Amino acid sequence: MSDSKKDRLAKKRLSERRRKARIKSDPELYVMHKEKDIQRYCKRKNEGKIKSVSELDLVNNEFLEREVEYLPINTI
């Protein structure tokens, strides 16, 4: 049986959804999962892979790039 790439991707997504639902339904697994996420975040933050908005330079700071110029309503 040969599965197409789309079928394999759909199966993978479904199994991932089921795995996450199983974790969320079990309180112990959920707490362990959240702790792992927090540890992973702290590790990445300490390595400098995650930066806060204040640490971004002007080119990478999307908030500063999206400044909107407002035109006056009555231009007549």
Element (H, E) at 64: helix 62-65
- Mean pLDDT, to the nearest integer, of 19-33? 95
Tokens 């991932």 appear where?
Answer: 16
- Mean pLDDT, to the nearest integer, of 69-74? 57
All residues at 6 or more sequence positions from 62 whose CB lies less than 8 Å from its CB, including other chains: none
Tens of pLDDT, residue by residue over 11-24, are 999 999 999 999 99
